[in-house]
Structure 1
Amino acid sequence: MDVVIVGAGTAGCVLAARLTEDPSRQVLLLEAGPVFGSAGEFPEELLRVSSLSAVLPGHPFNEPHPAYLTPDLPWTIPRGRVLGGSGAMNGANYVRPTRADFDDWVGLGHDRWSYDACLPFFVRAETDLDFGGDLHGREGPLPVQRVKGSAVSPLSGAFLDACLAAGFAEEKDKNGDEAPGVGWMPGNFVDGVRVNTAISHLLPHLDRPNLTVRGNAPVTRVVIENGRAVGVAVGDEIIRADEVVLAAGSVKSPHLLMLSGVGPASALRAAGVDVVVDLSEVGQGFSDHPDVYVGFTAKQDVPFDPDTLTAQVALDLDSGADPAGDLELLLFVIPLGAMMTDTGSGRTSLRKGATDVLRRPRRTLSALRGVSLRRLATQVIRQGDLNLMVALQHPESRGHLRLLPDRGLELHYEYLSTESDRARLRTGVRTAVDLLRSGPMSPWVGAITGPDPAALESDASLDRWVRRHLNSNFHLSGSARMGPVVDQELRVLGVEGLRVVDTSVWPTVPRRGTNASAVLLGERAATFS
């Protein structure tokens, strides 16, 4: 093989499709989970855009990773283990990083990753069904659109009105290089189907003789000889290639680097791994978006179309410290329980959820080992609530991946470790409560179920509430970042023939979701020699 790509997720599928446009280049794409030969072979929970049931603990299409959101808050982080990766089971919001993100990265010395340099690759990837002009694609494989017409939830319209009435600016095109504000979320979906990059980029080209896709092939390490990556190990099998690309995601790619002897020397030796290259920042200094959900009950039934996005409108705003927008408020128009149990009705079915868990009790219990039982109980009790998510989009706090003695991995997020992060998230929560209590939302919002009035009385009480209800957006970035781990062409320092192509490489987590930025990485990396 000329190139072996490890991981058929968002970036990996794009990269494999683009590389094999050259018929002389032989590419093997390896996926740890199952693969499918057509879009129609995907299970319904991976296709239905309103379903998040595949992220449930124990689901066979995700791999759970033990984590600590804070030092005293254990959780589990699911990552996709199926063709399409985590992009096959996410919320299908497709928002690019802001210009400020690219400016920040250029300021760190990564001048080849400016906004203007990356824009053509966003355009190349997409067909935007709503916007034209120089900022949007019309001929790319990935469909992008916003909810419109009869699919719009009246709750979304009320939230948009509430934000405008409160004085927030309108952001008409969230992929349009505009100032942050309230606007309709773009999504990669069409006719009710979540179009992951396997569907958009890869599957139409499976007949190429130079493209091989192999599923149920978990890679255990990169084979490195004399300072050069020469292949990968899948169990006892060694697959040789001229170049190895890790596109296994921001958890698994740095994990594979470490298992291959590339990482912090002391951590590798402690786990019994021979050190090949001492790269101290592998798995260190990652960032992600911490979030909490402000819950509320509905005064009346909220109409819902199961063939569209469940989060249709977002408010991106400046907490006072970041004009590019360091907070995001994202309204969900059905309960999280309904998304997780995937009834298609917009209502939660505890019976269906329990049935799904009982189908795989061992996997579920294993995935939940060590998780806070109080948190789980709270989520079950409030599973029928509607939610306004509040996320910190430009955090200061940094986390690390810990290689365990058994060579497994543990994620330590260190969320809210600075006062600035805590203060900004408090601002977001208070803004969310004010918007839910405002006039345009009054026909729809009954009671606010959290935070309660007592939690809002002081900063200290609100901090306590936030810590008890803290979640993660699963946008982990920077675990093998440009600068200390890879260069601007994503080549691993100290090892020839080895690249990382996923959100591990971003110096910091983008201020918006990471779905579109992963597509960018696949598109851009295909042009590197």
Structure 2
Amino acid sequence: MTATPEPAAAEPAAAEREWEYVIVGAGSAGAVTAARLAARGSGNVLLLEAGEDQPRPRDRSHPLADAGRLVLAGHNWDYRANLRTSASPWEELIQGRTGASGIASGGRAGARALWERFPYQLGKVVGGGSAVNGAIALRGLPRDFAAWEAHGNPDWSWEQVLPYYKDIENDADFPGRLHGDGGPLPIRRTPRGQVHELDAAFWEECNRQGVADLPDLNAGLEAGVGPIPGNAVDGERIDASTAFLEDVRDLPNLRLRTGVRVTRVLFEKDRAVGVEAELDGTLTTIRARHVVLSAGAVGTPVILQRSGVGAAGLLRSLGITPVADLPGVGRDLVDHPSVVIWSKPADGVCTPGLPWRQVAARMSSGFDDDVDIQAGLLNNVESHTIPGFVDRLGWPLVVGISVMLLRPRSRGRVFLDSADPRAAPVIELGLGTDPEDVERLCHGVRRAWGFLRSPGLSGRLTRTQFWSDRMVANDGVLRSGVRHIMNPGWHAAGSCRMGPDDDPWAVADQEGRVHGTRNLRIADASLFPTIPSAPTNLTTLMLAEKLARNTKE
């Protein structure tokens, strides 16, 4: 038995036996979980992925190998998200106050105007988000994990997660106490003397404005500007599949199945006994002693809801019999809101194919003294690759300055409005629903505008889309612009947060075990009690490593 995908005719073999572990989703968390469980000999492990496998060997020209671009087509879930929230009767449903017709009358219909608004393309391929993202390897900050502790998860302090960050990485730039040098994931940074001229100008302006150098953005310190750590080597993205799965694919106790979409977990009373999955258009039962959901912050909660795990009122309104009444399932979906200001570079400044992210700065927006935003440039960007970018100006190459809010207060949700196993989930990101988020981003945009107007940058840029000095100076116009232009970072998290069983919104304990069930765990970013102050992929890998190392059969 090998992990190499077999022809479709051989697929039913996966359903003809009972597995020790079935892991749903071969993305960042699922790849780590499967690799660690199989390597330690934890019985037979079946890893299921709805998307395709990556080519083996993978040519360097393949888009999944190119760390210089986001992959937003061909290897993604074709989700559509409402950037705000709808009038759906969520609170009434989770409290059981709405009848069977409630979701139909108030759910998708209330969101219809915004339903098709934003393509929320999350990874659907072996490697998941790590195979399609920008290969940025930033850790969360100590204050993030203090917040996790405050939500009733004492095993997730900075001191307790740091060893697992170290275990997964091979940081060639900062060997020593804070970093690992023997893990499977390479971490590299661009030396200051080799960064792009625009990044160099941005860095210099940060220093001029009082943002100090921070050569290691992963050292646990907050404010500073420095080179972005990334999981890429010579321009090649090293994703979770390449880093964690490649060396264990041929273990006799691991099998990877691709093109298999899991619809729900199967229960005998409160004990998970396997999953129902769609194989070649047919729903098939796959039995297992343990089920681990690693389908991500959108996929995991909707699988739970289809399975009868979620808000009992919502489930009954869809005709689903509740197994465990957990109203937190799907509730606190969160993403990093950001605003990007796009400009046209002067001739010869940018070149397609060169690195697009090299320098980042964590700083105060100016709303108060807190370090609340991350700012940096997006260089050498081909305009046709930008989601939602309407290039009416004929700019083939663009430069963006990005302002990302590190710790948003706004929350969204993800839920089902149909029990049909093929129905798309309702995704409401809730961006900017807390007024403080909007105000912090407004201050951040003003600060970014100051960077753009500095001599080092303005002399290399010829025009800027949408924004002007007058707009940025006008509070009302600025606020309106930020509300309408803010986008998510594809950093979905928090929709099945971990916490103690006396927390009414907690879905799983701090070891990922789903409350009110047996033999069912979660291992992905949906568990995050709060979103880390960084892109989420490295923390997702760390979380999966920590959970897998501590999983007891």
Fold similarity call, TM over 0.5: yes
SS of equivalent residue, structure 1 residue 385: strand
The answer for the alignment partner of 1:226 in structure 2 is: 269
For residues 219-267 of structure 1, the C-alpha deviation after alignment (integer angstroms, 9 at most, x for no partner) is 1111111101111111222111111000011110111111111111222
The answer for the alignment partner of 2:208 in structure 1 is: 165
Q: Once the 2 structures are TM-superposed, how far is the Cα of residue 145 of structure 1 from its aligned partner? A: 0.4
Query: Is the Cα–Cα contact under 8 Å of residues 76 and 125 in structure 2 kept in the other structure?
Result: yes
In 1, Cα distance between equivalents of 2:484 and 2:42: 55
1:430 to 443, 446, 450: 446
Query: Is the Cα–Cα contact under 8 Å of residues 141 and 222 in structure 2 kept in the other structure?
Result: no
Q: Once the 2 structures are TM-superposed, how far is the Cα of residue 379 of structure 1 from its aligned partner? A: 7.9
The answer for the alignment partner of 1:10 in structure 2 is: 28
The answer for the alignment partner of 1:351 in structure 2 is: none
Q: Once the 2 structures are TM-superposed, how far is the Cα of residue 456 of structure 1 from its aligned partner? A: 1.5
- Report which stretch shifted further, 176-185 or 493-502: 176-185
For residues 388-424 of structure 1, the C-alpha deviation after alignment (integer angstroms, 9 at most, x for no partner) is 0111111111111131235431111121122211110
In 1, Cα distance between equivalents of 2:126 and 2:404: 28
The answer for the alignment partner of 1:110 in structure 2 is: 153
Task: Give yes or no for the alignment of 1:326 onto 2:339.
Answer: no
Q: Once the 2 structures are TM-superposed, how far is the Cα of residue 477 of structure 1 from its aligned partner? A: 1.1
2:50 to 1, 18, 32: 32
In 1, Cα distance between equivalents of 2:436 and 2:187: 35
Contiguous gaps of at least 5 residues in structure 2: 1-18, 86-112, 500-505
Query: Is the Cα–Cα contact under 8 Å of residues 38 and 199 in structure 1 kept in the other structure?
Result: no
The CA RMSD over aligned residues, in Å, is 2.1
1:281 to 323, 328, 332: 328
1:209 to 236, 242, 252: 252
Q: Once the 2 structures are TM-superposed, how far is the Cα of residue 382 of structure 1 from its aligned partner? A: 6.2
Classify 1:378/1:404 alpha carbon distance in 2 versus 1 (closer, same or farther; 3 Å): farther
In 1, Cα distance between equivalents of 2:488 and 2:446: 19
Classify 1:382/1:213 alpha carbon distance in 2 versus 1 (closer, same or farther; 3 Å): same
The answer for the alignment partner of 1:22 in structure 2 is: 40
The answer for the alignment partner of 2:199 in structure 1 is: 156
In 2, Cα distance between equivalents of 1:41 and 1:311: 23
1:520 to 542, 545, 551: 542
SS of equivalent residue, structure 1 residue 224: strand
2:314 to 239, 242, 267: 267
Task: Give yes or no for the alignment of 1:243 onto 2:290.
Answer: yes
The answer for the alignment partner of 1:355 in structure 2 is: none
Classify 1:225/1:336 alpha carbon distance in 2 versus 1 (closer, same or farther; 3 Å): farther
Name the amino acid aligned to 2:493: S
Name the amino acid aligned to 1:397: S
Identity value in percent: 36
Q: Once the 2 structures are TM-superposed, how far is the Cα of residue 480 of structure 1 from its aligned partner? A: 0.4
Name the amino acid aligned to 2:295: A
The answer for the alignment partner of 1:349 in structure 2 is: none
The answer for the alignment partner of 2:342 in structure 1 is: 295
Q: Once the 2 structures are TM-superposed, how far is the Cα of residue 304 of structure 1 from its aligned partner? A: 4.2
In 2, Cα distance between equivalents of 1:158 and 1:117: 38
The answer for the alignment partner of 1:493 in structure 2 is: 515
The answer for the alignment partner of 2:414 in structure 1 is: 401
TM-score, length basis structure 1: 0.88
Q: Once the 2 structures are TM-superposed, how far is the Cα of residue 150 of structure 1 from its aligned partner? A: 7.7
The answer for the alignment partner of 2:81 in structure 1 is: 67
TM-score, length basis structure 2: 0.85
For residues 89-124 of structure 1, the C-alpha deviation after alignment (integer angstroms, 9 at most, x for no partner) is 100000000011001111222110000101111111
Task: Give yes or no for the alignment of 1:377 onto 2:390.
Answer: yes
Name the amino acid aligned to 1:334: N
- Report which stretch shifted further, 512-521 or 313-322: 313-322
The answer for the alignment partner of 1:343 in structure 2 is: none
- 1:460-475 maps to which residues of 2 (within 5 A)? 460-475=476-491
The answer for the alignment partner of 1:315 in structure 2 is: 361
In 1, Cα distance between equivalents of 2:297 and 2:322: 21
Q: Once the 2 structures are TM-superposed, how far is the Cα of residue 36 of structure 1 from its aligned partner? A: 3.7
In 2, Cα distance between equivalents of 1:379 and 1:473: 24
Classify 1:322/1:254 alpha carbon distance in 2 versus 1 (closer, same or farther; 3 Å): farther
Task: Give yes or no for the alignment of 1:337 onto 2:383.
Answer: yes
Q: Once the 2 structures are TM-superposed, how far is the Cα of residue 183 of structure 1 from its aligned partner? A: 1.1
Name the amino acid aligned to 1:171: L
Classify 1:323/1:524 alpha carbon distance in 2 versus 1 (closer, same or farther; 3 Å): farther
In 1, Cα distance between equivalents of 2:81 and 2:396: 22
Query: Is the Cα–Cα contact under 8 Å of residues 486 and 499 in structure 1 kept in the other structure?
Result: yes
In 2, Cα distance between equivalents of 1:398 and 1:158: 35
The answer for the alignment partner of 1:502 in structure 2 is: 524
SS of equivalent residue, structure 1 residue 147: coil
In 2, Cα distance between equivalents of 1:477 and 1:323: 26
In 1, Cα distance between equivalents of 2:214 and 2:196: 19
Q: Once the 2 structures are TM-superposed, how far is the Cα of residue 270 of structure 1 from its aligned partner? A: 2.4
Classify 1:24/1:396 alpha carbon distance in 2 versus 1 (closer, same or farther; 3 Å): closer
Name the amino acid aligned to 1:400: R
Classify 1:473/1:278 alpha carbon distance in 2 versus 1 (closer, same or farther; 3 Å): same
Name the amino acid aligned to 1:265: A
In 1, Cα distance between equivalents of 2:522 and 2:394: 41
